[in-house]
Amino acid sequence: MTATHTRLRALVALTVAGGLALTGCASTGAPASSGTADAGSSAGFPVTFEHIYGETVIESAPQRIATWGWGATDAVLALGIVPVAIASMDYGGGENRITPWVEEAIADLGGDEPVILDNATYELSVEELLATDPDVLIASYSGLTQEEYDAVTAAGIPVVAPEDALWSTPWRDVITDTGKALGMDAEAENLLDGLDQQVADAAAEHPEFDGTTIAYASDDVDTFYLYLPADPRVEILEDLGFVSAGAVTDLDTGESTFYTTVSSENLDKIDAEVIFTQVDSEDTLNTFLTSARTKLIPAVSAGAVGAIVGEENVAAITPTALTLPWILPEIVDQLAAATALAKG
């Protein structure tokens, strides 16, 4: 497995990542202040979270919010607050290690830029985090370890940790958990309603998607991946009206909750009308479309392929409060073209 695919797995655990659609922030420096909006009223506090490391109680509405992992940063920003610290994005984040949708949101909100916590190895520097003087750490979709959790909570900082397992909290729960932690439950629900409406509107504009079989595939040098219905990226495709092809679950080896690998001799069994894929570059896409191996898949041979190209776009496929609006139009355009070809 390549380093790129390893990073994507962490994003989507990808679910993330993928997995996965922002303009310059400081990577070091003095603690930042929160953005233009304030967290909710303390009237609804304290609030309690149950998670893999036990229980967290947040006594009052936090003002200085730090985030870790995937999706929490986007949720805080979408609720109108700039965090004091966020994790770096080393896939899709460019030279400044911030994804464009996060950069855009920070610029729109104004205020001080957050400190960028080094996420290159997915290990949280507790010292770096505590230097930003946070009131809370929201890490509901992350690889936060027991040791990291214990160190942060020992410093008196409440932590919203993953619910049931690392890198597995559903993307919608990341938003609702963030709203709860900030005392902004109603705002988080409204945010989710708006996101769901965007997907529903796109589905309504493309009735041809309804019932069309699809397989989300990725070819990584010597390993071919199919993403399963449990993956949030596949969930979005199904929300648009597509149906996961029977072969997707038939070929599932049980090696992961969100993907399975497929051997070359089984590629011709992928019976989807449309193939959806993600690639880092146009060259990689060309290889996917023309290689003898991938052309064993009937839809690839027919050219019925929708592709998301480029690291930023690939990172954006994994849904968050900010990535879904950012990448959805491109996803829909790609799927529309592939479906039109599939249906002649």
By the 8 A CB rule, do 117 and 148 touch? no
Residues 177-234 pLDDT 10s: 999 999 999 999 999 999 999 999 999 999 999 999 999 999 987 799 999 998 999 9
CA distance 294 to 279: 14
Q: What pLDDT sits at residue 39?
A: 66
Exposure string (b/e) for 205-221, b if CB count within 10 Å is 16 or more? ebeebeebbbbbbbbee
What DSSP state is assigned to residue 92?
Answer: S
- Right CATH for 208-342 from 3.40.50.1980, 3.40.50.1970, 3.20.20.70, 3.40.1190.20: 3.40.50.1980
- Right CATH for 23-187 from 3.40.718.10, 3.30.950.10, 3.30.365.10, 3.40.50.1980: 3.40.50.1980
Residues 102-123 pLDDT 10s: 999 999 999 789 999 999 999 9
Mean pLDDT, to the nearest integer, of 310-333? 96
Structure tokens at 44: 């609804």
Strand ranges across the sheet with 85-87:
115-117, 85-87, 65-67, 136-138, 159-160
* Sequence ranges of the domains in the chain: 23-187, 208-342
- Rg of the chain's alpha carbons, rounded to an integer? 20
| Alpha helix (H) residue ranges in the chain | 3-12, 72-78, 100-109, 126-130, 146-154, 171-182, 185-205, 232-239, 246-250, 282-290, 298-302, 311-316, 323-342
Specify the DSSP element, H or E, that contains 127. Answer: helix 126-130
Share of the chain above pLDDT 70, in %: 88
Same fold, 23-187 and 208-342: yes
CA distance 285 to 290: 9
What pTM was estimated for this model as a whole? 0.86
Residue 24 in this model has a pLDDT that exceeds 90: no
Instruction: Supply the mean pLDDT for the chain.
Output: 89
Residues 121-177 pLDDT 10s: 999 999 999 999 999 999 999 999 999 999 999 999 999 999 999 998 999 999 999
